[in-house]
Each structure stands twice: as C-alpha cells, then as structure tokens.
Chains A and B, each alone.
Chain A
Amino acid sequence: MRLQRVARFLILCLIVMSSGIAWQANAEYADVVLNQKSEKEGVRPVIFPHWFHRIRFKCKVCHAELGFKMRVGSNHISMENITAGEFCGACHNGDVAWSADECDLCHSGKPGLKTGIRGGHETMGPGIW
C-alpha cells in the first residue's frame, strides 16, 4: 500500500519535472524527429533539420526524386536503405554529403523523443489548435 503510494508520488514528480523540460523545448521550425527504429536498435533518434537542407536543395529533390513522402511517419527508412543509396543515402554517401559512418551527426536526438515534426502551429499551442 505504502509502496504503491510512493510509486505514484515518484511518477507525479517525473511528470512535473518533464513538463518543466518540455516547456523549455524550443526546437527549430520544421526539425523532424525520426525514432521509429533508432532507439529500438540502441542508437539516439535522428534529428533532420529541414532548414539546413533547403538551403542546399529544393523540396523537389527529396520529395519527388528520392521518394520521401510528405507525411511524418510514412517513410520507413533503415540503415540498409541508406547504405544501398536510397533515401538519405542518395547524398549521405561520402560524395555529396558525409557518409553513413558518421553516426552521431544524424543520430543526435535526446533519448525518448517521439517521431514527428517540430515547431508548427499544431505543436506550439496548448492543444492541437
């Protein structure tokens, strides 16, 4: 009984603390977190910065040529794809951009992040609106 109460209290503490942390989050607009497979495979989530890439390539290159669908969660990318030159691997091959052996440069997200796009009007307000 007492143990249960202590556990409940600890969970409450965690919620309070994490809400404090979430409140400080100020991710760059359009940063994408990819964590469908990363943490299950034991690496940090991937953070994809749209801003960095759009300075170098137009939307069409990734979203038409390379086949990235424009909906978060609909691109099931694995390291096999990337080393085979698909998706990120079309450029991240050591030729156009750094190669896939620079793990930490892409897998740089905080553990526990959910897959999704950050900073839009859907995520900034108190609710979905």
Chain B
Amino acid sequence: MTQTELTTTAAASAAEAPPPVRARRRFSRENVTRLLFVAPAALYLVLFFGYPVVKNITMSLQDYTTKTFFTGEAPWVGFANYQAVLSSNLFWPSMTNTALFTIGSIAGQFIIGLALACFFKRRFPLSNFLRSMLLLPWLLPLIVSSATWRSILEQDSGILNQFLGTFGIEPVPWLTSPAVALIAVVLVNIWVGIPFNVTILYGGLQDIPDELYEAGALDGATGWKAFRHITLPNLKPVISVVLVLGVVYTIKVLDIILGLTNGGPANATQTLSIRSYQESFINFEFGVGAAFSNILILISLVFAVIYLRANRRAVDE
C-alpha cells in the first residue's frame, strides 16, 4: 500500500513538474500571456478610472474656472478649495442631509425589498409577472421618474394630496416645506431603490435550501421563527452586499434631488453631490466642486472597502 502510494505520488509529481530548463522558458511565456490578459483591463482602468480620479484630485487643488478652459491656466491654490468647502455654511447641513438621505433611503429600500423578496418566494399565479413588473422603477430614466414624482407631490393639485384629501388629510407641503422636503425626496429614492434590493435578496433567498426549512419545521420553527433563525443567518452575506452597495449608490444620488427640489426649499435638500454639481456647473467653480466630490469619493471609498472585505468573507464562507 505504501509502495503504491509512493509510486502514484511520484508519478503525479513527475507529470506535474516539467523538465527544469523548459520550465523556465514556459514560465516566462506564461508570464507574458498573463500580462497580455491583464493589459486591456489595466489600460481601461487607468484611462477611465485612474485618469479621472487623479484629474479630480489635482483639480481640487487648483483655481479651476471657466477661464481655464480657454487659456489652460489653472493656478495651484493648495488646500484653499477644501478650506472654502469646510468653511461654507452649507457644508455641515449638506453632510447631515447626505447622512439622513442615505440612512433613510437604505433602511426603507432594504426593509420593503426584503419583505417583497420573501413574499415572492412563494409561488402563486402571476408571481413571476408581478416580480418583473417590480423592476419598472429601475427601467425608467431617473429624470422621467423625478419629473413624474414632482407632479405627483405637487402641493395644490398633486395626485397624492388629492388622494390624502379624500381621507380628510390636509394638503402636505411635500416639496415646499423645508421640514418635509427631505422626507419626500427619501420616499422617492426608496421607490427607485426597491427593485435593486428585491432582485438581489430574492436571488439570495433562492439559494437557501428548502431542506433547512423542512428540518426547521419539524423542530417547530415556522413563520417568524423560521425567518429569524434560518432565513436571516443564511442571507447574511447577501444582505451585507446589498447594504454596502446600496450606500455607495445612494450617497452620490444627484438626478432625483435635482429633479425634485434642486436642493431647495431653503437648502433643505442640499447634499454633498448637489453642492458639488452646483459649484461646478452653476457657479463654474470647478476647483471647489472637485473638492466636494473628493470628500464624497472618500466616504464612498470607506464603504467600498467594507464591501470588498464583506465580499471576501462571503466567498470564504
């Protein structure tokens, strides 16, 4: 037995390891091939991700205005743009709004998304059709949905207030009161984000083996208990991915807020991305705009790292 084992191992290693001289040559050839496979992706990354990021960082250290486009001159100003950002009265309110917007949107999207995903796990007539209909908000161009929501939320003649009025509820100043506007914007963003959450979570649910539920049912774990002790633990890797990706997508949302309130009323819906957009493309202070967006990128980066780690853990598991 030992003999045979030994021979097989030897045979295997002989088959695996080619003669030493040829090995070196093949190794270098392999290396070249590997490089060639990496090259297009690396080139793409450098061109379309590396360059913009580096450009954005240098821009944030320059006095970059309309003049720059004509003369090519953008004097270095050090951290003056960041100073302008941090000392602006809108910086902290927009930070808070970004946080509230992100947390509110993610919480809403996730809870409703998970509930719908669990609901669609059961098969019933038209369930597939209904589930695909859920994707609609995802398919609409954001500029269209925000224009539509803007008329739905209109204070005097919007359909939502008309509907609420039939229950005797006073018209809600959805987009015109600084106290309510952020909530309204969050609600619309939740609506936009639900399809993403449902799709990913539904996929995660499909991967949980039915046997677990059957075994759990024998032990008396049904309904809520089954959800807590079987669904949630098994869904954990997917949940962390959904949440972190959700944060990265939500924190930079621009078009919905621009379309609904443009940062108003009275700056109640100013977020970092709105500030960045307005500084760059309304005030033409591209340096300050870049500084705002770099802060945003930095925050996203933190979550991206969390995502990568969570992802690696998920793969390990």
Whether A and B are associated in the same complex: the answer reads: no
B-to-A contact residues, CB < 8 Å: none
A-to-B contact residues, CB < 8 Å: none
